[in-house]
Amino acid sequence: MELQCSVQNYDWGKLGHESEVARLAAICSKSITVDESKPYAELWMGTHVNGPSFVVDTDESLSVWLQRNMDSLGSDVRKEFGDQLPFLFKVLSVRKALSIQAHPNKKHAEELHISRPDLYKDPNHKPELAIALTPFQAMCGFRSIDEIQYFLKELPELQTVLGEELCKNLLSADSDNKVYLKEAFRQLMQCDTTIIDKTLIEFLKRAEGESKEYQDKFLYQLLKRLHSEFPSDRGCWCIYFLNYVILKPGEAIFLGPNVPHAYLFGDCIECMACSDNVVRAGLTPKFIDVPTLIEMLIYESQAVDNIIFKPITEDAYTKVWRPPVKDFAVAEIRIPANSTSSYNTIMRPSASILLVISGNAKVSDSLETDIVRGSVLYLKASRQLTITKKDDSEDLIIYQAMCNFQ
């Protein structure tokens, strides 16, 4: 059945038709008129109370429909998660940075919820998978000690932030030394605001007169952009501690518990456990909880090549990203423009939500439905769709979110 989905207009979203969220939502929602001056940040597909989806034919929320149709979730899902859809499926369109942050594991999430329910509103963990739709910029995981040491040696302003003794310790640290990395990151996060402000302005002024080669090497344009979005924010300096990655369309990253990260720019598919547990420490106007973040982070270096989360090929038209959690997996169904035969989707033991990104087709199980770019469907567990392309001018691309059961 077809779903009508919610749009979130957060300040960091892309404006008007520059936003993939706005473009997708406007195609299939008669109620949305895109305002070119308004940010369109997220399209939510699921049952979250802050942005529920509605069944088009009945105009009732998906969560209400599920109360009468629990069997549609699948027996494995109900056994593991109860009578609810445990994931939230999204499209994100990012114009400005989304906070230096990390998500607690399940046990820590429960503890935070008990101790501070006003800030951490549910006891669930929040692993995330992001799949790029356009070139997608992010920070993810700590750089190697060698890289951090290089930036520290070459940037006197960063040395001022960390202080002489800590710089000396970090510059002499072994590649597997987590203690000094943690202390350096703690100092950055707790450094006096006036020092952060002064050093950022000094570096930006100095780098402005340097060669393009120098500017590229030290990510001048990125730092300048982040500083324009969040002036004098300590999170700007994080680009020299965390890996800066640009995902190509179709590439993905998985963000497990306690991994520091920030989305910076671009459009992506995102799927996550149904939770809102985020611990933030910079590049945000929202509540910052530095002590909690510092203690929970994994202080291990991640090579950029290892950050890319690879999918598994299931058949000629489908590949799937299966993270190490049961809450969700995401499949990409891509039927080439010149394909003339029908395709039967893989039968899943979990209910799923499907989003059409490009192309148009007829789909059928017991009923036949036309789908176009922007269409969102709910599919019951243990059912499959027969897909017949209607247009050979472009690939049909569909993303399918489901629970992670084989």
Identify the CATH homologous superfamily for domain 3-140+246-298: Jelly Rolls (2.60.120.10)
CB 139 within 8 A of CB 281: no
Say whether pLDDT at 177 is over 90: no
**Per-residue pLDDT tens over the stretch 269-278:** 999 998 878 8
Two domains, one topology: 3-140+246-298 and 145-240: no
**Which amino acid is residue 233, in one-letter code?**
D
Mean pLDDT computed over every residue of the chain: 93
Say whether pLDDT at 78 is over 90: yes
Residue with tokens 């590439």: 251
pLDDT computed for residue 113 by the predictor? 83
Sheet with 368-371, edge to edge strand ranges:
343-344, 386-389, 361-364, 368-371
- Cβ neighbours for 194, distance < 8 A, ≥ 6 positions apart: none
Distance in Å from the first CA to the final CA of the chain: 23
Which of 383, 351, 347, 389 shows the shortest CA–CA distance to 370? 389
pTM: 0.95
Say whether pLDDT at 26 is over 80: yes
Distances (CA, A) of 400 to 145, 198, 201, 333, 377: 38, 47, 45, 8, 9
Radius of gyration for the alpha carbons in the chain, expressed in angstroms and rounded: 22
**Per-residue pLDDT tens over the stretch 103-138:** 988 899 888 888 888 888 888 878 999 999 999 999
Say whether pLDDT at 250 is over 80: yes
State yes or no: is 78 an active-site residue.
no
- Cβ neighbours for 66, distance < 8 A, ≥ 6 positions apart: 47, 72, 73, 83, 84, 85
Token pair for 307: 């950050």
Token pair for 26: 């406007």
- Residue 29 binned pLDDT confidence (cut-offs 50, 70, 90): confident
pLDDT computed for residue 391 by the predictor? 76
Q: Which helix (H) or strand (E) holds 228?
A: helix 220-229
- Cβ neighbours for 57, distance < 8 A, ≥ 6 positions apart: 1, 2
CB 93 within 8 A of CB 133: no
Considering the domain 145-240 in this protein, what is its CATH number? 1.10.441.10
Say whether pLDDT at 190 is over 90: yes
Strand residues in 30-135 grouped as ranges (E): 39-40, 42-45, 54-55, 87-94, 98-102, 128-132
Dist. CA 31–CA 157, nearest whole Å: 51
pLDDT computed for residue 357 by the predictor? 97
- Residue 303 binned pLDDT confidence (cut-offs 50, 70, 90): confident
Say whether pLDDT at 319 is over 80: yes
Of residues 157 and 30, the one with the higher pLDDT is: 157
**DSSP helix/strand/coil, 291:** helix
Dist. CA 271–CA 257, nearest whole Å: 15
* Active-site residue, from 280, 322, 334, 348: 280
Proportion of the chain above pLDDT 90, given as a percent: 80
pLDDT computed for residue 31 by the predictor? 78
**Per-residue pLDDT tens over the stretch 44-70:** 999 998 899 999 999 999 999 999 999
Dist. CA 293–CA 102, nearest whole Å: 7
Dist. CA 343–CA 2, nearest whole Å: 20
**Per-residue pLDDT tens over the stretch 336-395:** 988 878 999 999 999 999 999 999 999 998 788 999 999 999 999 999 999 998 877 899
pLDDT computed for residue 366 by the predictor? 77
Dist. CA 318–CA 158, nearest whole Å: 46
Say whether pLDDT at 402 is over 90: yes
pLDDT computed for residue 218 by the predictor? 97
Of residues 182 and 29, the one with the higher pLDDT is: 182
pLDDT computed for residue 341 by the predictor? 82
Angle at 378 between CA 377 and CA 382, to 5 degrees: 125
Which of 345, 79, 294, 340 shows the shortest CA–CA distance to 187? 294
Distances (CA, A) of 34 to 17, 217, 374: 7, 39, 15
Domain ranges of the chain: 3-140+246-298, 145-240, 317-402
Say whether pLDDT at 226 is over 80: yes
What is the second-level CATH architecture of the domain 317-402? Sandwich (2.60)
Burial label for 287, CB within 10 Å (0-12, 13-18, 19+), is exposed
